[in-house]
Structure 1
Amino acid sequence: MPFVPDGREVYRQAFERHELIPAFNVCSIEMVRGCIEAAEETKATIILQAYPTDLEQFPAEHFQKLVESMAWDSSATVLTHLDHGKSVEMVLECLRAGFSSVMFDGEALQFEDTLEASQYLHRITSQMGAALEVSAESFNQGFSVKTTPERALQLKHAGADTLAVSVGSEHGQASKLDLQLLSEIQSRVNLPLVLHGGSGVSPDDLAAARNLGVVKINIGSSLYRALRGVWDSHRDHPNHRNVYATAREAIRSVAKEKIQVARLEKTR
């Protein structure tokens, strides 16, 4: 089943088997294709996710159709996901487009409002057949606030299928996980967990996190750095088609390495 329309069963199985699924932030056809090629090569399950600002240029319906068509033409197992959906309306748009999974990010809301919105979205995702990821904390450098076990439990009761927890990982930089806090959260919620800022998490921390119920690791910065490297080195290149091919190969290489790290395989 190359494209998976409902992420809930995938997350449940990963939780039971202590598996970690890479979730790649992608915003172009080269990135989508490169990640799917990496998943084919490694026979992996991957998640391709869209960030809200990317959806301003690449509408949810178009993103879904592109990923789904490429997935069905491949041997890889692929899900689609909304990353950091800041409003109920954005989450609903992606659900209508057919996303396998959506995140509601309540960072900017009062916690009670996040709980209320999560309860509403749980009813919708249950009806439409999609997974709901919920967070109430920031993962941005210098502004991150760690998730408490008490808050995590409240989010679970609000209907989250997966919880994005802030336990030390931050967007775009090397991070050290608070594994004791992660263990305490998992002991309270017994639910699949998600790590954001995965590009900077060490393989040792990932191995420990996987055994503590983390099933999804978000990876964006590593891909964007690879893409920027290609653009910078081909700034004056006369053949744009070669640039696209080189970009796709760079993305494939990084995605393959991250898949191997998630599996605790040696990358060289």
Structure 2
Amino acid sequence: MTYHADARPLYHAALAGGYALPAYNVCSLEMAKGCLDAAEAAGKPVILQTYPADIEQASPHVFAQLIRALADEVSVPVTLHLDHGRDVDQVIACLRAGYGSVMFDGQGLPFDETLRMTAHLAGIAHASGAALEVSAEGFGLPGADDNVLDTTDPQQARALRDAGADLIACAVGSEHGHASRLDLTLLAEIQTQAGGPLVLHGGSGIHPDDLQAAVRQGVTKVNIGSALYRAVRAAWMATPTLPTHRAGYASIRAAVKGAAAPFLDLLHPQRNSA
């Protein structure tokens, strides 16, 4: 059994070991299996994560049971994370289902309210034996539906850490679904103030040199979504030429594996396992 119901040891090991975990957004068996195939081939730990729109298709319980079952068939550490959780009830439902890590997205809230919710949810997550990620959305990280950049304030990042957040999502130049370069000077300031583990969203488009530099500055989780979605769409477009639906599913799994694999080497280049 390689499923980690508490993701905190994975994050701490990554921080201590100087590498980052790719966190892949998945919404189907084929996507999850493709990512795990890539992780198993590389011999490296992995995070799978669901977006709120994904768990409208199937409940947190269904995703948690799916990922646990798939984790039984691989040798690398695996955990499941809620990405961009905006609703407190949804965050709690994922914790009850057995997610190892959850994110609270405070986009649009005043900072004081985000700070209050961080302390509240940190208590719940830690009592559940799980990790809490808090984003700087609303005063930092660009959201999935709003890519207007507003960089993270290092002092606010420190306050979120002090309130109990295990991971701080930083806005230092990355955008969901777009090519980007990072403000590494700002990232260093955030690391100095808040320490690690830190998180970057929009990892599909971040320049590889910047990603590796960010890992050296305390980033231990990098979200990857758009690269996988594009691979799925390309494979799906080709399915009319395939003989059966099963051949189509196999094509999608292979495409996702191919899209996921480079990030495992990029973020975790010198270790074979956690």
Report the TM-score when normalising by structure 2.
0.94
**1:40: which partner in 2?**
40
Cα distance between partner residues in 2 of 1:191 and 1:262? 16
Q: Does 1:222 align with 2:227?
A: yes
Taking the aligned partners of 2:196 and 2:244, their CA distance within structure 1 comes to: 49
Amino acid at match of 1:208: A
Deviation digits for residues 65-109 of structure 1 (CA, Å, limit 9, x no counterpart): 000111012112101000000021111010000000000000121
The 3-state SS of whatever aligns with 1:70 is: helix
Could you tell me which of 154, 163, 166 is aligned with 2:159? 154
Q: Is the 8 A contact 1:207 1:264 kept in 2?
A: no
Residue 235 (structure 1) shift = 3.6
Where does residue 260 of structure 2 map in the other structure?
255
Report the CA distance between 1:139 and its aligned residue. Answer: 2.0
Q: Letter of the aligned partner of 2:23 in structure 1?
A: A
Query: Is 1:206–2:211 an aligned residue pair?
Result: yes
Alignment correspondent of 1:91? 91
CA–CA distance in 2 between the matches of 1:19 and 1:260? 10
Partner residue in 2 for 1:139 = 142
Instruction: Please name the residue that 1:26 is paired with.
Output: 26
- For the residues of structure 1 that align with 2:149 and 2:84, how far apart are their CA atoms? 14
1:108-147 aligned within 5 A: 108-137=108-137, 138-140=141-143, 142-147=147-152
Question: C-alpha distance in 2, partners of 1:62/1:142?
Answer: 30
Determine the structure 2 residue equivalent to 1:177. Answer: 182
Larger mean Cα displacement after TM superposition, 191-200 or 12-21? 12-21
Partners of 2:111 and 2:216 in 1: how far apart? 29
2-structure distance, mates of 1:234, 1:127: 46
Question: Is residue 203–residue 264 contact of structure 1 (8 Å, CA) maintained in 2?
Answer: no
**Is the CA contact (8 Å cut-off) linking 2:227 and 2:259 kept in structure 1?**
yes
Q: Which residue in 1 is equivalent to 2:202? A: 197
**1:2 matched to 2:2:** yes
The corresponding residue for 1:13 is: 13
Residue 254 of structure 1: how far off its partner (Å): 1.2
Q: CA deviation at 1:236?
A: 5.4
Number of equivalent positions: 265
Tell me how large the CA RMSD over aligned residues is.
1.3
Give the equivalent residue in structure 2 for 1:164. Answer: 169
Could you report, residue by residue, the CA deviation over 1:159-209 in whole angstroms, capped at 9, with x for unpaired residues?
100100110011001010000000000001112000000000111101110
Could you say which residue in structure 2 is the equivalent of 1:72? Answer: 72
Secondary structure of the structure 2 residue equivalent to 1:52: coil
**Deviation sequence 1:223-245 (CA, Å, 0-9, x none):** 00000001112245451110000
CA contact (8 A) 1:167 1:182 kept: yes
For the 8 Å contact 2:136–2:171, the answer to whether it is kept is: no
- CA–CA distance in structure 1, aligned partners of residues 109 and 93 of structure 2: 20
Q: Is 1:234 aligned with 2:263? A: no
Unaligned 5+ runs, structure 2: none
- Contact 1:39–1:77 (CA under 8 A) maintained in structure 2: no
DSSP 3-state at the match of 2:53: helix
AA at the equivalent of 1:8 = R
> Once the two structures are superposed, what CA deviation does each residue of 1:83-138 show, in whole Å capped at 9, x if it has no partner?
00002111101000000000000012111111111101111111110000001324
**Aligned-pair CA distance for 1:43:** 0.5
Residues 61, 142 of structure 1: CA spacing in aligned structure 2 closer, same or farther, 3 A cutoff? closer
Deviation larger for 97-106 or 199-208:
199-208
- AA aligned to 2:239 is H
Aligned partners of 1:76, 1:33: CA distance in 2, in Å?
Answer: 13
